[in-house]
Structure 1
Amino acid sequence: MNPTNYQTILSDLITPLWVTYCQRVPQALKIYHLLEEHNKRVVHDHISFRTVNLPWTSGPVLTEKLGQFGYCLRDRASCPEQHLELYWLHHPAPEVPAILITELDAHCLSQPSQSILKQITSENDTPTLWNLNHIPPKKPTLQQFETLQSDNEIAAWFSLFGTSARYFSVSVNHLDRQNDMLKLVKLLMEEGFALDNRSGLIRESVHQMIEQVVSLPDQMEISFSSEEKARVSTGCYHFTLRFKSPSGKLYKKFFSNTFSRTKAD
């Protein structure tokens, strides 16, 4: 695939992810249209995925599959205390958003949680038709979901939504009017959108090269295999502002403590 043919990647890979994400996080589409009204264009900086290191959903497997669409691994980080591996992938076409994959090591989970993941995924160790909107073939019961949730939030998320997009993040740098965080926050709050301020409305990265704003999560009623229903947090909409590195180019990475990475542009 020609890596510069970004329209193909957008239509074949990104658009289906966006459609599914907006069904689960309806505020995202409302905010997207609001920003379109105030700016010439809206571009997404990156898309985030949560996964578990199962044979068909591990970070290396997803990275290899995304390589078929022209993505390259540009950064990788490890969080041993949280049993996480993180992968940061870029595409050579500037209009195609980067991808952040957060992979949980399932071996850190309790035996009941590992057993639940095995039960709901056993039929789909090697799916015939691969796509990033893939959910486990069996729904958990509400009790199983609550067991996973008490053990690890990522495991609980994965049991319901699989490898669908956790969130999309708007590139504030590409907005021509709300092109700094104060202007963006002002617009969102004036329009009645609630923002997460648990770590401050504007979150600054450790390396001070990125600022982020996050909406409060949407919730929706989920039906479980036990025929019970419960309201579950389904995701947020993110906004990312990048600053220039000493070289004069926008900072393109994401992690503050990478242990290995390929050469950045």
Structure 2
Amino acid sequence: MLEEVLDGLMSRYQQRVPDVAAVISAMVREGLIAKADDIENDHIAFRTMGVPQLGVQSLEKIFLHYGYTKMDHYYFAAKKLDAWWYAPPAPKYPRIFISELRVGDLSQAAQDIIHSYTDEVKADPVTKLDLNDSKAVDTFLHSGLWRTPTLADFKALSAESEYAAWVIYNRYYLNHFTVSVHNLPTGYNTVADFNNFLEKHGFKLNDAGGKIKTSPDGNLLQSATIAGMITATFAGGDTEKIAGSYVEFAERKVLPAYADLPAGQVQRQHRREGFEAGNADKIFESTYTTQTKKSS
């Protein structure tokens, strides 16, 4: 069931994010991988609205049902976000990172706009889902929870929280997936090397806080493409180019305790685990205009 849900998420994500196929085809052409399935997916991420009947407490029920374990909490004061990550039931599955907007921390005007949409959802929709029906779960994760927003509301939210605007239009759309680079061939198996590969092939990278976001312990390095722009159709037929989704890249270094392990014996549990708030804070900006204006 979990594999079917993840496959559904990834297939739609790839259809909507051209960079995914472009990155994969470049990796195949240069011999980094033989096929897309050779990529290790470090994690996938969702964005949510922090209102009582939705948010993390609702969405996480799906993945907890499939054996994920809730791990650390992260707080992003400037962006008014909370987030948690979830460890998978087996190493072959991606970690999951779910964030939510602290709606109550926004201005009253922004809260009113958000609630005008989220109040259409009267109760936690996941409680009505048959979580043993993977097709029903897949459909839910790609369905609109509330009406299509107006362009005016989208712009009003953007002025205060680009995260809020992204979610009001995209709902639970998969925000990104993440290529693990540390298991790729030498010359490509660090974020620095992989960034060079990406830029050589014309991909634009998020440079908020630098193109490489590094944890204080130096063991988690991340980078991301800038979200591609999609033509969004708003209520009433208005259209506007807005940020879609993006692709992330992660390098998890072997922990000092396992430094002497032969490379062929290194498994996921021997590498740096979890996430880093400082890194994630800048990765969020892959959908922000400070970045997307650089790719246009």
TM-score of the pair, normalised by structure 2: 0.77
Deviation at 1:136, TM superposition (A): 3.0
Letter in 1 for 2:190: D
Matches within 5 A, 1:45-60: 45-60=42-57
Which residue is equivalent to 2:112?
115
CA distance in 1, matches of 2:26, 2:56: 34
Letter in 2 for 1:199: G
Which residue is equivalent to 2:7?
15
Tell me: CA distance 1:235–1:125, structure 2 relative to 1, closer, same or farther (3 Å): same
RMSD between superposed Cα atoms in Å: 2.0
CA distance in 1, matches of 2:227, 2:153: 22
CA distance in 2, matches of 1:144, 1:81: 22
Matches within 5 A, 1:75-114: 75-114=72-111
Deviation per CA, 1:203-250, whole angstroms, max 9, x where unpaired?
Answer: 212332211121122001111003211100112211000112233220
Tell me: CA distance 1:74–1:26, structure 2 relative to 1, closer, same or farther (3 Å): same
Tell me: CA distance 1:229–1:69, structure 2 relative to 1, closer, same or farther (3 Å): same
Deviation per CA, 1:64-101, whole angstroms, max 9, x where unpaired?
Answer: 22111111012112234543211010113111110111
Higher helix residue share: 2
Aligned partner of 1:186 among 196, 205, 224: 196
Which residue is equivalent to 1:252?
273
Which residue is equivalent to 1:39?
32
Which residue is equivalent to 1:227?
237
Which residue is equivalent to 1:5?
none
CA distance in 1, matches of 2:196, 2:8: 31
Question: 1:77, 1:86 within 8 Å by CA — same for their partners in 2?
Answer: yes
Question: 1:51, 1:154 within 8 Å by CA — same for their partners in 2?
Answer: no
Q: Comparing 172-181 with 235-244, which one deviates more in the overlay?
A: 172-181
Letter in 2 for 1:115: D
Deviation at 1:134, TM superposition (A): 4.2
Aligned partner of 1:133 among 126, 142, 164: 142
CA distance in 2, matches of 1:46, 1:21: 14
Q: Comparing 155-164 with 171-180, which one deviates more in the overlay?
A: 171-180
Q: Give unmatched runs, 5+ long, in structure 2.
A: 130-136, 259-269, 279-296
Q: Give unmatched runs, 5+ long, in structure 1.
A: 1-7, 258-265
Deviation at 1:57, TM superposition (A): 2.7
Q: Give the secondary structure class of the aligned counterpart of 2:175.
A: strand
Which residue is equivalent to 1:170?
179
Letter in 2 for 1:227: G
Letter in 1 for 2:32: N
Tell me: CA distance 1:125–1:17, structure 2 relative to 1, closer, same or farther (3 Å): farther
Which residue is equivalent to 1:155?
164
CA distance in 2, matches of 1:201, 1:256: 16
The reply on whether 1:217 has 2:238 as its aligned counterpart is: no
Q: % of aligned pairs identical?
A: 26
Letter in 2 for 1:90: A
Q: Give the secondary structure class of the aligned counterpart of 1:173.
A: coil
